[in-house]
């Protein structure tokens, strides 16, 4: 029988949701700014040729692929959000909490565009506006998803599970 304390959210659950919230807020604020300041404007060089602001409404997925599958991408994003929220309560590793929070925030950021932007619910186009040389245009949510994926790959390669068991062993061996 579960104890009263097992029903309480863990601090790492809150960390996951805090990271997701920060990513989501920064993503949405930067997209609001981009729509207000960049839409209809020519691309702007910011740091020489290293960074350009280039407004694009993207109906597809990463790299503007699959523009005809917007509804499918929206449903996949909903699935990702559900899986992360269900998994978040099991996290006992700070690094995994940050990784899943970044993925959740990024998925929610682009999902909000797909739900609330034209041309309609689950078909909305994602606002992208950041461009690096020889790279497609992207946004803050995309950066969070890629960063989270890189961190998850690193944690997996290092053998650190969601439970953080290896993390504890590493900390104990260092303190010995």
Report yes or no on 5 lying in a domain.
no
- Residue 54 belongs to a domain: no
**The pLDDT of residue 80 is above 60:** yes
Res. 116 pLDDT band, cuts 50 70 90: very high
In the prediction, which pLDDT does 128 show? 96
Q: Alpha helices of 51-93 — where are they, by DSSP H?
A: 70-88
Range scoring the smallest mean pLDDT among 17-31, 46-60, 63-77, 94-108: 63-77
Tell me, yes or no, whether 161 lies in a domain: yes
pLDDT over threshold 70, residue 7: no
In a domain, 92, yes or no: yes
Span 131-168, pLDDT tens digits: 999 999 999 999 999 999 999 999 999 999 988 765 44
Q: What share of residues in the chain are helix, strand, coil (percent, to 5)?
A: 60, 10, 30
Contact 100, 84 (CB under 8 A): yes
Cα–Cα separations (whole angstroms), residue 91 to 26, 83, 108, 169:
24, 13, 20, 16
Task: Let me know: does 132 contact 53? Beta carbons within 8 Å.
Answer: no
Convert the pLDDT of each residue in 43-64 to its tens digit. Answer: 999 988 899 999 999 987 765 6
Range of the structural domain that residue 162 is part of: 10-39+59-125+139-175
- Total number of domains in the chain: 1
The model's pTM: 0.84
Beta bridge partners of 145: none
H/E stretch holding 2 reads none
Does residue 52 fall inside a structural domain? no
On whether residue 27 sits in a domain, the answer given is yes
The sign one gets for the Cα dihedral 70, 71, 73, 77 is positive
Q: Which residues are catalytic?
A: 128, 142
What DSSP string describes 84-109?
HHHHHTT---HHHHHHHHHHHHHHHH
């Amino acid at each position: 029988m579960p104890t009263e304390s097992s029903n309480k959210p863990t601090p790492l659950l809150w960390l996951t949701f805090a990271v997701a919230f920060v990513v989501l807020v920064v993503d949405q604020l930067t997209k609001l700014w981009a729509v207000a300041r960049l839409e209809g404007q020519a691309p702007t060089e910011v740091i020489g040729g290293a960074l350009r602001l280039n407004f694009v409404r993207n109906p597809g997925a990463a790299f503007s692929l699959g523009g005809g599958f917007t509804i499918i991408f929206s449903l996949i994003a909903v699935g990702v959000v559900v899986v992360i929220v269900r998994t978040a309560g099991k996290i006992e590793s700070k690094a995994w909490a940050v990784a899943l929070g970044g993925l959740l925030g990024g998925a929610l950021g682009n999902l909000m565009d797909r739900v609330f932007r034209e041309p309609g619910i689950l078909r909305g186009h994602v606002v992208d506006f950041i461009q690096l040389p020889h790279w497609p245009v992207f946004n803050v949510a995309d950066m969070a998803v890629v960063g989270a994926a890189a961190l998850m790959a690193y944690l997996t390669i290092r053998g650190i599970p969601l439970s953080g068991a290896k993390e504890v062993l590493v900390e104990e061996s260092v303190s010995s």
